[in-house]
Amino acid sequence: MQRRYLYILMFSLPGFLASLMISIVLSASIAGIFWLFVFGDDPWPVSADRTLAIIFIFSLLVLWGAFQYLAYRTGRKEEANASLSVRHAVIAAGVTALLSLVIIFHQWRAGNIGTPSNSVMCSEHCRDQGFSGSGIPPRNSGLEICICYDAQGREAVKSPLSSIQSQHRKLSRNPFAKIFQF
């Protein structure tokens, strides 16, 4: 295999991850501009959502293509060398690992990965029971309870957080338990 194509393969994943992150930041920035200066808190037209999606996809493809082109050019220059540059392979692996860790850390901090907070578990518990809202007392109150509210905003059920946590642990051991509840 020619070195130019090997470099495209070697740098395709880190290029995609970098393109994805830059495209998300760009789209979020444009959404912020739309919110602050164009549409505000009023309902946004469908065209604004489509515009943001097109900007995201376009920037993702253009950036990924640019990174692939840089990999192709670098690989073409390296074809004169007898052996594969270990330094470039380490850079590709390191950048891939670093960007993957950044994404995982962000998702962990956002609460999408790992143990959910007490308030999230309480909210899920109340929603699963058919209640409209949920709440927990302040941490410094010493009360470890989950309060479920009915449609009128009145307290309907109080449950100890420890029972909700143990129920959540049982469900998290079996990934299909929530999907196939009978």
Domain identity same for 58 and 104:
yes
Domain identity same for 104 and 126:
no
pLDDT at residue 164 in the model: 84
| Band (143; pLDDT cuts 50, 70, 90) | confident
Give the mean model confidence (pLDDT) for residues 52-74: 96
pLDDT at residue 97 in the model: 96
| Domain count within the chain | 2
Residue 79 lies in a domain: yes
Domain identity same for 102 and 123:
no
- State the chain's mean pLDDT as an integer: 88
Domain identity same for 59 and 15:
yes
Domain identity same for 97 and 163:
no
Give the mean model confidence (pLDDT) for residues 127-140: 90
Domain identity same for 24 and 102:
yes
3-state secondary structure of 174: coil
Whether the per-residue pLDDT at 178 is higher than 60: the answer is no
Residue whose tokens read 């073409």? 76
Residue whose tokens read 């129920």? 167
Give the mean model confidence (pLDDT) for residues 148-162: 90
The dihedrals phi and psi of 137, each to the nearest 5 degrees, come to -65, 165
Residue span of the structural domain in which 75 resides: 3-109
3-state secondary structure of 81: coil
Residue 179 lies in a domain: no
3-state secondary structure of 125: helix
> What is the pTM assigned to this prediction?
0.69
Domain identity same for 104 and 17:
yes
pLDDT tens, residue by residue, 73-131: 999 998 888 788 899 999 999 999 999 999 999 888 877 777 788 888 899 899 988 99
